[in-house]
Amino acid sequence: MTKKPGVGEIQVIARQIRRDIIKMLMISKSGHSGGPLGLADIFASLYFDVLSIDPQNPRWEGRDYFFLSAGHLCPVWYATLARRGFIPIAELTTLRKINGRLQGHPAPPWTHGVPGAEIASGALGQGLSIAVGCALGLRLDKKPNRVYVLHGDGELDEGQIWEAIMTAGHHKVDKLIAIVDRNQCQIDNRTENVMELEPLVDKWKSFNWHVLECDGNDVAEFMQTVRQAQELKGKPSVIIAHTLMGKGVSFMEDDYRWHGVPPNEEQGKQALAELGPTPYGDFVEFDWERQPVEIGVK
């Protein structure tokens, strides 16, 4: 891509990513629906505007580092990586399949995983420590690269997260931007029923972070908030991005029961109808009279 797409085009890309997520999950018959759908706008914004990256050279030294701490959200990441050119779009048929690179929870390419992943994630709560360490290392080398890390809100129950929040505040790691997917849902129930997170903004602030909030399903607002965070100095920044779990699929929206299950064929069909086609086209067309046919992956 030679020129960055505008907000309108990123919204269309996000819609296509949602379609890709639904199709991937229908094929794999296993994986997480709600969180990934809610994050399509954020991932499209990050990979088609915010991040300095080179899909042809995922290990490019000048890259911004992106860590997905909540590994189960990977369907949205894989779809985004495919649409951005890190992996072939057709490879999305291989989610969670043997001999594939799209592990159920992500891993880096040197351990069965996917180009663009720097580390493994899946066991929750580990990504922030890694992001802090990476940012500290870059700072020691006086490099300008930024570090982004994305967390689920339920993930914040993990104690290690708060250790890392403390470490980042202590070391004033200001090239670090954490993003919290605040969709209020986790696998068992709504977050505040499982473990109260509020007052979440005050908690991060009291650990010496800059805290910003935005609508994580509003591409323009999210990108503006990121740009604001990039300008903040002296402390790490966190963006509490309020999102709607299952966004774009009426029967999944804001329903925690869609955390960890895929749509069945009928539900998937309805979801695709609600999302509507885009000019980018799907990676596999379903013939509803037959089982989905996989297409070759190079």
Partner 1 sequence: MLKYQSRELKATRLGFGETLVELGHENPDVVVLGGDVTGSVKTDLFMKAFPDRFLSVGVAEQDMMGTAAGLAVAGKIPFASTYGEFAVGRPFDQIRQSIAYSRLPVKICASHCGITVGPDGATHQSLEDIGLMRLLPHMTVATPCDYLETKKLVRASIGWKHPIYIRFFRDNTPVFTGESTRLEIGKADTLIEGTDLTIIACGLQVWEAILAEEVLASEGISVRLINMHTIKPLDNNIVLKAASETGAIVTAEDHQMQGGLGGAVAELLAQNIPTPQEFVAVRDTFGESGKGDELMRKYGIAKDDIVKAARRVLARKK
List interacting residues with partner 1 (CB under 8 A): 65, 107-108, 110-111, 118-123, 126-138, 140-141, 159-160, 163-164, 166-167, 170-171
Nearest by Cα to 88 from 288, 284, 289, 292 = 284
Q: At closest approach, how far in Å is the CB of 134 from partner 1?
A: 4
H or E element at residue 88: none
Nearer to partner 1, 163 or 254 (CB): 163
Q: At closest approach, how far in Å is the CB of 163 from partner 1?
A: 4
CA of 150: how far to CAs of 32, 73, 147, 181, 193, in Å?
16, 10, 10, 7, 22
Q: At closest approach, how far in Å is the CB of 31 from partner 1?
A: 19
Q: At closest approach, how far in Å is the CB of 119 from partner 1?
A: 4
Nearer to partner 1, 4 or 59 (CB): 59
Angle at 132 between CA 149 and CA 115, to 5 degrees: 50
CA dihedral 276, 13, 250, 218 (to 10 degrees): -140
CA of 85: how far to CAs of 56, 64, 69, 148, 286, in Å?
8, 16, 22, 20, 23
Nearer to partner 1, 5 or 115 (CB): 115
CB atoms within 10 A of CB 231: 8
Nearer to partner 1, 79 or 124 (CB): 124
Nearer to partner 1, 108 or 260 (CB): 108
Angle at 88 between CA 104 and CA 29, to 5 degrees: 35
H or E element at residue 292: none
Q: At closest approach, how far in Å is the CB of 214 from partner 1?
A: 26
Nearer to partner 1, 41 or 155 (CB): 155
Q: At closest approach, how far in Å is the CB of 112 from partner 1?
A: 10
